């Protein structure tokens, strides 16, 4: 049996259509049918019943679908683990970072790592906590910054700092607003959200829904740069950790004001392998991250709170 044969069969069985399977797998329908027939010939049984509406599983096909699915999961797992080992041998460390870290921690990491270990290559992936958590679970990252603790037999979750999401905009836009800003006042303000950050927006919507209110003037933009421009040019407010707007706040282009909603405070953790499972390179990078977080905490510039 070949892995491609199993994959063709599983997709065809799940979609109940050879045509749909061919579209998903980006191969021709005859190629799908030929490989499945090859499996049936190998076993001497029919795995699929063909009819005008598509295909359906035979009793033997249902049994084989379960086994084929297990084999594909194992194959994908081995593939990920071997790629991880290959990356480590090449000195590649993959780190998932939150958007608020890209303009401060990432440059610091690159500089320090290059100075002391030029043979090591850092690859950063930016995402929200839920996205990075998912990639960590799939073993696509060596380390990830997340907002929830991850407890597994192989993982170590290290608390780094606390931070708060604030209302950010041009200083002149805050005239007449209370400080901290009540959530109810947000319902009438022009806001810009990142459409991918469903967790943040739902916090406001759920709270306002209980008060019989809703966000009335919201646009969604996935670009951090464009959201910053809206905030600086007196067009809209943005809700984010002030570290994301650090340079703009320092120049006086933006102002950050707390919002009266406790759930906007979060703890940021670093998740990685347990110390006894780390190789030498991973241990070095793990210590670099903790050291740099300490430096930023001591500076007080990023509005982080020590845990």
**Per-residue pLDDT reduced to its tens digit, 247-259:** 889 899 999 999 9
CA separation for the pair 55, 32 (Å, rounded) = 12
- CATH code assigned to 163-265: 3.40.190.10
Whether the per-residue pLDDT at 265 is higher than 60: the answer is: yes
Statement: residue 162 has pLDDT above 90: yes
Structural domain spans, the chain: 3-78, 87-162+267-299, 163-265
pTM, 2 dp: 0.66
* pLDDT band for position 231 (cuts 50, 70, 90): confident
Domains 3-78 and 87-162+267-299 share a fold: no
What is the average pLDDT value for the chain, to the nearest integer? 86
CB 9 within 8 A of CB 17: no
Between 3.60.21.10, 1.10.10.10, 3.40.50.970, 3.40.720.10, what CATH number should domain 3-78 receive?
Answer: 1.10.10.10
Parallel/antiparallel/unpaired status of strands 255-260 and 181-182: parallel
- The phi, psi pair for 155, rounded to 5°, reads -105, 155
Supply the pLDDT for residue 80.
60
Q: Assess if CATH 3.40.190.10 describes domain 87-162+267-299.
A: yes
pLDDT at 210: 86
- In angstroms, the Cα distances linking 205 to 184, 188, 199, 200, 210 are 11, 13, 10, 9, 9
pLDDT band at residue 82 using 50, 70 and 90 as cut-offs: low
Q: What is the pLDDT of residue 145?
A: 95
Query: What's the pLDDT band for 141 if we cut at 50, 70, 90?
Result: very high
Do 96 and 143 meet the contact criterion of CB atoms below 8 Å apart?
A: yes
190 vs 197 pLDDT, higher one: 190
Per-residue confidence at 167, pLDDT binned at 50, 70, 90? Answer: very high
Mean pLDDT of 303-307: 91
Instruction: Convert the pLDDT of each residue in 61-78 to its tens digit.
Output: 899 999 988 888 888 777
**C-alpha–C-alpha distance, residues 99 and 163, integer Å:** 13
């Amino acid at each position: 049996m070949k892995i491609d044969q199993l994959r063709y069969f599983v997709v065809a069985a799940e979609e109940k259509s050879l045509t749909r399977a061919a579209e998903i797998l980006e191969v021709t329908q005859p190629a799908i049918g030929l490989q499945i027939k090859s499996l049936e010939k190998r076993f001497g049984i029919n795995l699929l019943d063909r009819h005008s509406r598509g295909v359906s599983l035979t009793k033997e096909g249902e049994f084989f679908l379960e086994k084929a699915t297990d084999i594909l999961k194992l194959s994908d797992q081995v593939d990920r683990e071997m790629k991880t080992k290959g990356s480590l041998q090449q000195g590649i460390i993959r780190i998932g970072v939150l958007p608020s870290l890209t303009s401060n921690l990432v440059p610091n990491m690159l500089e320090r790592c290059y100075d002391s270990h030029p043979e090591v290559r850092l690859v950063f992936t930016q995402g929200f906590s839920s996205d990075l958590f998912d990639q960590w679970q799939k073993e696509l990252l060596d380390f990830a910054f997340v907002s929830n603790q991850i407890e597994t037999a192989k993982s170590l979750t290290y608390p780094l700092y606390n931070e708060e999401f604030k209302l950010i905009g041009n200083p002149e836009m805050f005239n007449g607003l209370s400080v901290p800003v009540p959530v109810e006042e947000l319902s009438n303000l022009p806001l810009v959200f990142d459409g991918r950050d469903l967790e943040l927006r739902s916090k406001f919507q759920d709270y306002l829904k209980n008060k019989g209110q809703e966000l009335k003037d919201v646009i969604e933009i996935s670009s951090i740069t464009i959201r910053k421009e809206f905030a600086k040019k007196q067009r809209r407010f943005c809700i984010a950790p002030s570290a994301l707007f650090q340079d703009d706040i320092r120049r006086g282009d933006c102002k950050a004001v707390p919002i009266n909603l406790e759930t906007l405070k979060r703890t940021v953790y670093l998740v990685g392998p347990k110390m006894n499972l780390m190789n030498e390179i991973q241990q070095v990078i793990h210590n670099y991250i903790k050291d740099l977080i300490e430096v930023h905490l001591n500076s007080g510039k990023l509005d982080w709170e020590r845990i």
